Amino acid sequence: MKHPNMSRRTVLKGSGALLAGAAFSTRVMAAAPPPEPVTPALVEAAKKEGQVIYYTSTDLPVAEKLAKAFEAKYSGIAVRVERTGAERVFQRIGQEYSSKIHAVDVVNSSDAAHFIVWKREGILAPYVPEDVANYPAEHKDVDGQFASFRVWLSIIAYNTNLVKAEEAPKSFADLLDPKWKGKIVKAHPGYSGTIMTATYQMQRDLGWTWFEQLAKQNIMQVQSSADPPKKLELGERAVMADGNEYNIFQIKEKGGPVEPVYAVEGSPLIIGPNGIFKSSPNPNAAKLFQSFCFSREAQQLIIDIGGLRSAHPQTQEKPGRKPFRDIKTMKDDAAAVEKEGDAIKARYSKLFRV
C-alpha cells in the first residue's frame, strides 16, 4: 500500500521561527479579528471572482452537496471540490507551497494537527464568520484562523447479516477474541487523518499492546476511514475496528445491514476544521464559502445528509441516532498528534506490514 512518508514537520519549506501552538490552543499570537457578517459587498466581490477552490477530506458526496447548496444560494460562484484523504491533502498543500503554487482557497482536514503546522507556518488567514462567534471556545482557534467545521467519531460497527446483536463486540478488547480472526476490516493512519487521530487516541488509552494483538487477527487493511463501512455493507468483513460513524449512519438509514457500536472504553473523537489561506486566489469567495460552511443551514445539512456531528449551538441531531451527549468519547489532542504522528505511522506500518 502506498501512503505518505513525508514528515508533517518538514512538508512546508522556508518557514520562519517555529511557534509553539496547538489546535484550539490558549496561546494567543494576535487578537482574533471581530466576527464578520455576510454583506452585499462581500457577495458582490465574491461573484466577481466567480469561483472558490476547496481542498477537503470530507466524504465526496457530502462535500459535493455542500458545494451545490452554496452554488444555489450564491449563483454565479462555482465551488471546485478537490477531495482526497487528509494526509494527502496535507502533502499536496505542502508541495504546492514549496513550489510557490497558491491554488487553494479553503481547506478542510480530518487531521486537526495539520492546522497547527499551517498556523505555525503563518499561511492561514484570520477570519471569523459571524456564526463561529457563538461556537464553544474549544471549537475555534483563539486567533481566528480556523474552527471546527465537522465533528464525528471513529467507531466499531458490524454487519447485521453476519453477526447477531447479542454476539457483536461491545469493546475494543472484544475485537481480540479469536472468533473475529479474518473477519475484521481496518483503515490506515498513513492515508486517513481520521484514523491517524483515532490511532493516537487508541494507543494512548489502550496501549500498543492492543495493536500488536490486533495485528495477529488477520485483518483486512484498507486506506480511507470511509472504506471499512463500505466493506461492511458489502459483507466482505463482519466487523470494522475503526471507520467513520457518519458512513455507518448513511448506510443504515438507507436500509443497509450495518449497526454502530460505541466501545465501552470510549470512541475516538475526531475534529475536522476549516481554514482560509492568506494566498487564496479568490479571497472574497473564500470568505463567503467559509461563512456558509459554518452557518446553521450548512451545519444542519452535514448532520442530516452527511451523518456528522456539529459544534453549532442551533443545530438539531437527527432522530434515530444515539445522542452525542450519551456517548463516551476519548479525548482529542491535536498537539500530541502533530508531535507524534510520524512515529505512529512508522510503528503502525511496521506492525501491520503495510
Which ranges of the chain have pLDDT less than 70? 1-30
Residue owning grid cell 451527549: 325
Q: Answer yes or no: do 131 and 216 share one domain.
A: no
Name residue 236's amino acid. E
Question: Are β-strands 106-108 and 51-56 bridged in parallel, bridged antiparallel, or unpaired?
Answer: parallel
Residue 7: what pLDDT? 52
Where in the sequence is the domain holding 227, given as residue range(s)? 155-266+341-352
Domain contains 195: yes
Q: Within a 10 A sphere around the Cβ of 20, how many other Cβ atoms?
A: 9
State the CATH number of the domain containing residue 113: 3.40.190.10
Are both 162 and 214 inside the same structural domain? yes
83 with 108, same domain: the answer is yes
What's the domain count of the chain? 2
What is the rounded distance in angstroms from the CA atom of residue 134 to the CA atom of residue 231? Answer: 39
Residues 180, 327, 345, 26, Cα dihedral to 10°: -170
Q: Which of 20, 92, 79, 19 is nearest to 53 (CA)?
A: 79
Same domain, 220 and 347: yes
Q: Is residue 3 part of a domain?
A: no
- Of 282, 23, 15, 297, nearest to 137 by C-alpha is 23
Q: Would residue 118 count as lying in a domain? A: yes
- Flag whether 27 is in a domain: no
Cα–Cα distance for residue pair 312/343, rounded to 1 Å: 34
Whether 201 and 230 map to the same domain: the answer is: yes
Total-model pTM: 0.86
Could you tell me if residue 219 is inside a domain?
A: yes
> Residue 81 has which C-alpha cell?
471540490
Q: Is 246 a domain residue?
A: yes
Residues 231, 200: one domain?
yes
**pLDDT number for residue 17:** 28
| Torsion sign, CA atoms 57, 61, 65, 68 | positive
Whether residues 170 and 287 share a domain: the answer is no
DSSP strand pairing (78-83 vs 51-56): parallel
pLDDT, position 245 = 98
Q: Give a yes or no: residue 190 inside a domain.
A: yes
Residue 30 lies in a domain: no
pLDDT at 4: 36
* Pair (47, 141) in one structural domain: yes
Distances (CA, A) of 199 to 168, 173, 248: 22, 15, 19
- Whether residues 163 and 206 fall in one domain: yes
Residue-wise pLDDT tens digits, 161-202:
999 999 999 999 999 999 999 999 999 999 999 999 999 999
Q: Are residues 238 and 346 in the same domain?
A: yes
Contact predicate 189/248, CB 8 Å:
no
Do residues 143 and 49 both lie within one domain?
yes
- For residues 123 and 168, state if they share a domain: no
| Three-state SS at 156 | strand
